[in-house]
């Protein structure tokens, strides 16, 4: 450990107050340049535990940096994971409140609903699909707490991978028989096409991405639990939005999901 005792708690306080007060802050590696991935995940865990102490419930997992272009941009070869809590879930009919966020961006995702516990270190995409009751269209709102959305990998891991909100559409399908890699997607802003993509943008197949996270968790004795929801990773780049905007994501076969911002 490079961190002296109590520094992890200070960092958690720093990031949580930035989130609560909706203000961006200088990235933590400016002060702690030698922070390791393990330490960053330990800070993330402490941050989620603090949210739990304050009443939030852990309801699943999210994957980040799952596209090769984004990994190359960050100079990394691996995805990252963070946790979803119940207060991040926005019902589709409720507007997203801009004044509770810092500099949000929306990205299209496929959500997995997990029907059985899944833990291990040799988990495959087939194992993930076997325990997935439904997949559904989703939008993740990422809102890095760092100045100008600029950070290193350790910064973003500690910041729970920029997690902020997510919205799930109302069409839920069994993944059996669905070509999730070939599934086309169009994201629009106020009716204008903003980005397009297909499920394969997520590490070749969204279930491969979920399997990667389960194996990472397995290495530290953790796993997915029955009832978890998993956001498998962005299918295209994220787009900015502001009050008055409506973002919609339309999938072939899997239906659509949208939100309005007020
Ligand atoms: O969910 C994501 O893909 C975001 C991961 C963190 C990187 C970012 O904030 O762009
Ligand atoms: Mg995401």
pLDDT tens-digit series, residues 177-200: 999 999 999 999 999 999 999 999
- Residue 118 is classified by DSSP as B
Q: pLDDT tier at 156 (50, 70, 90 boundaries)? A: very high
Pocket of ligand 1 contains residue 250 by CB under 6 Å: no
Domain ranges of the chain: 7-260
Pocket of ligand 1 contains residue 158 by CB under 6 Å: no
pLDDT at 2: 66
Residue 5 scores a pLDDT above 80: no
Pocket of ligand 1 contains residue 144 by CB under 6 Å: yes
**Once rounded to an integer, what is the mean pLDDT over residues 65-76?**
86
Going by alpha carbons, the residue nearest to atom 9 of ligand 1 is 162
Contacts of 45 (CB under 8 A, 6+ apart): none
Q: pLDDT tier at 69 (50, 70, 90 boundaries)? A: confident
pLDDT at 1: 53
Q: Is 99 exposed, middle or buried (0-12, 13-18, 19+ CB in 10 A)?
A: exposed
**Which residues neighbour ligand 2 (ion) by CB within 5 Å?**
140, 234
**Once rounded to an integer, what is the mean pLDDT over residues 230-258?**
97
Going by alpha carbons, the residue nearest to atom 8 of ligand 1 is 162
What number of CA atoms fall less than 13 Å from residue 31's CA on the CB side?
Answer: 11
pLDDT at 4: 76
Q: Please tell me the distance between residue 163's alpha carbon and the centre of ligand 1 in angstroms.
A: 8
Q: Please tell me the distance between residue 133's alpha carbon and the centre of ligand 2 in angstroms.
A: 21
Residue 138 scores a pLDDT above 90: yes
**pLDDT digits 0-9 by tens, 29-63:** 999 999 999 999 999 999 999 999 999 999 999 99
Angle between helical axes of 7-20 and 37-53 (0-180°, round to 10): 60
For the record, the structure tokens of 119 come out as 């833990």
Q: In CATH, what is the architecture of 7-260? A: Alpha-Beta Complex (3.90)
Pocket of ligand 1 contains residue 234 by CB under 6 Å: yes
Question: Residue 245, SS3?
Answer: coil
**Once rounded to an integer, what is the mean pLDDT over residues 92-107?**
98
pTM: predicted TM-score of the whole model, two decimal places: 0.96
3-state SS of 159-193 is: CHHHEEEEEECCCCECCCCCCCCCCEEEEEECCEE
pLDDT at 73: 81
Residue 111 scores a pLDDT above 70: yes
């Amino acid at each position: 450990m490079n961190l002296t005792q109590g520094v992890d708690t200070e960092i958690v306080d720093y990031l949580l107050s930035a989130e609560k007060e909706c203000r961006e802050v200088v990235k933590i590696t400016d002060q702690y340049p030698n922070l390791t991935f393990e330490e960053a995940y330990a800070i993330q865990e402490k941050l989620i535990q603090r949210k739990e102490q304050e009443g939030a419930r852990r309801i699943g997992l999210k994957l980040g940096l799952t596209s090769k272009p984004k990994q190359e941009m960050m100079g990394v070869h691996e995805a990252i994971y963070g946790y979803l809590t119940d207060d991040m879930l926005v019902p589709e009919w409720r507007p997203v409140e801009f004044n509770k966020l810092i500099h949000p961006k929306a990205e299209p995702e496929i959500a997995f609903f997990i029907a059985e516990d899944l833990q291990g270190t040799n988990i495959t995409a087939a194992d993930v699909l076997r325990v997935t009751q439904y997949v559904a269209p989703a939008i993740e709102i990422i809102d890095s707490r760092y100045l100008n959305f600029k950070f290193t990998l350790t910064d973003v891991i500690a910041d729970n991978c920029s997690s902020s909100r997510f919205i799930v559409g109302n069409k839920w399908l069994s993944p059996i028989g669905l070509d999730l890699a070939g599934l086309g997607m169009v994201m629009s802003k106020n009716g204008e096409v903003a980005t397009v993509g297909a499920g394969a943008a997520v590490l070749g197949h969204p279930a491969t991405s979920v399997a990667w996270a389960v194996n990472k968790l397995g290495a530290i004795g953790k796993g997915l639990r029955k009832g978890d929801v998993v956001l498998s990773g962005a299918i295209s780049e994220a787009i900015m939005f502001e009050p008055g905007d409506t973002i919609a994501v339309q999938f072939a076969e899997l239906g659509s999901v949208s939100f309005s911002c007020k």
